[in-house]
Amino acid sequence: MSTIPVIAIFDAGKTNKKLFLFDENYRIVFEKTARLMETVDQDGFACENLESLKFSVFDSLNEILKLKEFQVKAINFSAYGASFVYVDEDGSPVTPLYNYLKPYPEELSKQFYAKYGGKERFSLQTASPALGSLNSGLQLYRLKQEKPEVFSKVKYALHLPQYLSFLLTGQYFSDLTSIGCHTGMWDFETNRYHQWIQQEQVALKLAPIKPVNKTYKALSAKNTGNNYHIGIGLHDSSAALIPYLVNFIEPFILISTGTWCISLNPFNQSPLTVGQLKNDCLQYLQYQGKPVKACRLFSGFEHEQQTKRIAAHFNYDAINFRNLTFNQQTDSYLKSSFSQNQNFAERNLSDFKNATEAYHQLIRDLIRLQISSTLLVLKDSPVKRIFVDGGFSKNNVFMHLLAASFPDMEVFAASMAQASAVGAALTIHRAWNTKSIPNDIIQLKYYSGQAISL
């Protein structure tokens, strides 16, 4: 029996760690999901357990290499950004992988922005709203200021996708999709690292930038004979955009949903405004180095928290929300009976008759925020289509209400829910795949909002 050529993609989200095998037609032929227990840093703040993550990667790799029906031709990575792994000369981490939600010291923030032109000017230059630890460059600055003895031991600061690649290749890289993701490190006006990177001697701690379509051999290749190609990894939000850029020519917006819901518009490259920055709008660098205007919401996280609250209040199994269908009658009642300018966390659940009604209102409240977020990147661009991928693309209530919010647009749910993994595979297509890129990677379901009144 002949083996199936595949690419393995490690997709490390904040919550779930996934492994996929794709065949040459980009069909998933194997998948595995793990939720790793977090640990805490020296301040007791929850953070990624790097040891568990490392063992998970090696154990999963060993597992798939033993599968006789598959031949692994290549490996790549997509992972969340906004956090660095600081490694020493031996490649060992010298600190925890600090959580990007960890509060950033106010005085240190003031000191940094005062030194480099003020918060507003700096944020416009780097397309990075002032987000504290979510600006990973400021994490690096913090380490230098607060722990200079640890900083001196750092050989390289690697974003998580590149650290995962390093585990298998033993080589150190940086990539533009990670650097250009609200890090406060890249000057979008000059298209290079911001001046503070040199001034603070941080440049010495950054690995050379390599193109994401370049591959390398495994560190173990000499001993094991494994000749698969290994990519350098990508930031997951940027990776999620790649299948759409490959498959569609007409201008579009992609709403990539997960823990964050990110509206990405690769057809709007106008400079950021102060107003957009204040509303969590920014620019990404996509895999070809071009800027992408984006706006983020923490909607996936909020959805998870509030569905737990609804389920507990109504003694309802939260898993049932997954299959809930949009109910026009319920929606019309909510519209006429409740304020539509309130966040769901502030609502009294006793005001609702049942869990279904409360859930519809939760989605209405999230959609109201989504409209504002998406409009920030839609303005002044020729876009007529909206694609939604990730968790909310499967949410019937969400998709109906989104379509109703944009009646003049074509709104589609993408059934390719693993867009970031597919994107990571596509970037090194030539290294492992003998076929042409198929034109049916993305399955679309059209939603019409014409019959729904918001």
DSSP helix, strand, coil percent of the chain (3-state; round to 5) = 40, 20, 40
pLDDT in tens, 130-140: 999 999 999 99
Q: How many CB atoms lie within 10 A of CB 339?
A: 8
Report the share of the chain in percent with pLDDT over 90: 80
pLDDT at 224 over 80: no
Q: What is the dihedral of CA 368, 374, 380, 386, to 10 degrees?
A: -110
**Taking all residues of the chain, what is their mean pLDDT, rounded to a whole number?**
93
* Residue 92 CB contacts under 8 Å (≥ 6 apart), including other chains: none
pLDDT of residue 221: 60
CA atoms of 89 and 170, how far apart (whole Å): 11
Q: DSSP code of 173?
A: -
Report the pLDDT averaged over residues 256-273. Answer: 88
- Give the pLDDT of residue 368: 96
Lowest mean pLDDT among 63-77, 145-159, 220-234, 250-264: 220-234
Q: Residue 379: its pLDDT value, please? A: 85
How many CB atoms within 10 Å of residue 305? 12
Q: List, for residues 70-83, the tens digit of each pLDDT value.
A: 999 999 999 998 88
What does the pLDDT read at residue 453?
56
Domains and CATH numbers, the chain: 4-232 (3.30.420.40), 236-454 (3.30.420.40)
Residue 356 has pLDDT above 60, yes or no: yes
Instruction: Evaluate if residue 275 carries a pLDDT over 90.
Output: no
| 92: confidence class by pLDDT, cuts 50, 70, 90 | very high
pLDDT at 271: 84
Position 1 scores a pLDDT of 62
Position with higher pLDDT, 207 vs 282: 207
pLDDT above 90 (res 345): yes
> Which residues does 443 contact at the CB level (< 8 Å), separation at least 6?
414, 415, 416
Choose the weakest-confidence range: 58-67, 68-77, 267-276, 395-404.
Answer: 267-276
pLDDT tier, 454 (very low <50, low <70, confident <90, very high otherwise) = low
**Among 204-218, 297-311, 329-343, the least confident range:** 329-343
Of the two residues 340 and 366, the one the predictor is more confident about is: 366
Question: What pLDDT score was predicted for residue 274?
Answer: 87
pLDDT exceeds cutoff 70 at 188: yes
User: Please, is 357 exposed, middle or buried when counting C-beta atoms within 10 Å of its C-beta (0-12, 13-18, 19+)?
Assistant: buried
166 pairs with which residues across the strands? none
pLDDT of residue 82: 87
Among the listed ranges 222-231, 342-351, 376-385, which one has the minimum average pLDDT value?
222-231
Instruction: Give the burial class of 37: count Cβ atoms within 10 A of its Cβ; 0-12 exposed, 13-18 middle, 19 or more buried.
Output: exposed
* In 16-83, alpha helices (H): 50-65
* C-alpha to C-alpha distances, 332 to 6, 159, 335, 400, 451, nearest whole angstrom: 49, 46, 5, 13, 12
Contact 239/419 with Cβ under 8 angstroms?
A: yes
pLDDT score for 256: 86
Q: What is the pLDDT of residue 199?
A: 96
Residue 415, Cα to own-chain centre: how many angstroms? 18
Confidence of residue 177 (pLDDT cuts 50, 70, 90): very high
Position 22 pLDDT exceeds 90: yes
Query: pLDDT of 314-328, one tens digit each?
Result: 999 999 999 999 999
| pLDDT over 70 at 225, yes or no | no
pLDDT range class, residue 425, cuts 50, 70, 90: very high
In this predicted structure, the answer to whether residue 452 has a pLDDT above a threshold of 70 is: no
Confidence of residue 451 (pLDDT cuts 50, 70, 90): low
For residue 111 the two structure tokens come to: 């000191």
Looking at residue 217, its pLDDT comes to 93
What is the token pair recorded at 412?
Answer: 């589609």
Least Cα distance to 39 among 115, 98, 125 occurs for 98
> Residue 444 above 70 pLDDT?
yes
**Number of continuous H segments (helices) and E segments (strands) in the chain:** 17, 20
| Region 182-200 average pLDDT | 95
Q: What is the pLDDT of residue 415?
A: 81
Give the per-residue pLDDT at 200. 96
pLDDT of 309 strictly over 60: yes
Q: What pLDDT, on the 0 to 100 scale, is given for residue 439?
A: 87
Whether 259 has a pLDDT exceeding 90, the answer reads no
* CA-atom Rg of the chain in angstroms: 22
Q: Give the up-direction half-sphere exposure of residue 324: CA atoms within 13 A in the CB hemisphere.
A: 28
**pLDDT recorded at residue 237:** 83
User: What is the spatial distance between Cα 227 and Cα 236, in angstroms, rounded to a whole number?
Assistant: 26
